Amino acid sequence: MPHFFFHFASAAILAALLLSASACRKSTSPQDTSPASEATPSTPPTIPAPPEPALLSRAEWNAKPPVAQMTPHTPQFITIHHTGTKQNPNRSLADKLKGLQAFSQREDKLDTGKVKPAWPDVPYHYYIAVNGQIGEGREVDYVGDTNTAYDPTGHVLVTLEGSFDVEHPTAEQMASTKQLVAWLAHKYKVPSEKIKTHKDYAQTACPGQNLHNKIDELRATVNQPM
Ligand SMILES: [Zn+2]
């Protein structure tokens, strides 16, 4: 047996002994229940946090404050939408968000003939433009809004610019959406089965079949142990 192998083997045995001794101490010591010791990483190793994606903040797009009181919630689902409008690479994200906010904050008649009430703010928490740029919508700690019959409490609403029964999300949009979903899922401990699209909850064409078909790709970005 080569000399170095002996050292490696004895080191491994020693490490195993130390580990089992410390595991034993952990399970039997009544003092060992402090939050600090529970926060110490143990096996299996924790997956490193995905990087926070760059985004255009509310301050940067010059958002107006909400016009009515909003309801706080704790994010536990990620729900994908589309804007239902044609992709437009020639308009700035700030301009798109200001337009969406103006529409959101007034009472308006929808294409369906239904009247939507004035909402406090944009209905979605994140907006992903056709060029992949991410914009901050409603503050994520508050419940979003919807014209359809489901309760968005606990849902982080992510919308992609486009009308995806006819258009397709761009490669840039998909890349940004994956980054955002991975970061959100890690931050709020959302398991992949709680990442769905609007039509999974309500009678709606949103987010269009071409985006709905991509949900498994988005779920695959989540690799945290549950
Ligand atoms: Zn939707």
In the chain, where are the structural domains located? Answer: 3-39, 77-219
- Between CA 35 and CA 31 the distance in angstroms is 11
Q: How confident is the model at residue 38 (pLDDT cuts 50, 70, 90)?
A: low
Q: How far is the CA of 78 from the centre of ligand 1 (A)?
A: 12
Domain 77-219: CATH architecture, name and number where available: 3-Layer(aba) Sandwich (3.40)
CB 137 within 8 Å of CB 59 = no
What is the mean predicted confidence (pLDDT) over 4-23? 42
Q: How far is the CA of 157 from the centre of ligand 1 (A)?
A: 8
Q: How far is the CA of 162 from the centre of ligand 1 (A)?
A: 12
- 116-123's contacts with Cβ under 8 Å and 24+ in sequence apart are 116/147, 118/67, 118/68, 119/68, 119/145, 120/66, 120/67, 120/68, 120/69, 120/70, 120/145, 121/63, 121/66, 121/67, 121/70, 122/97, 123/157
The token pair that represents 60 in the structure block: 């940067």
How confident is the model at residue 99, as a pLDDT? 97
Q: How far is the CA of 160 from the centre of ligand 1 (A)?
A: 10
CB 142 within 8 Å of CB 101 = no
- Residue 23 pLDDT > 90: no
Q: How far is the CA of 81 from the centre of ligand 1 (A)?
A: 4
Q: How far is the CA of 215 from the centre of ligand 1 (A)?
A: 14
pTM above 0.85, yes or no: no
Q: How far is the CA of 138 from the centre of ligand 1 (A)?
A: 15
Q: How far is the CA of 33 from the centre of ligand 1 (A)?
A: 44
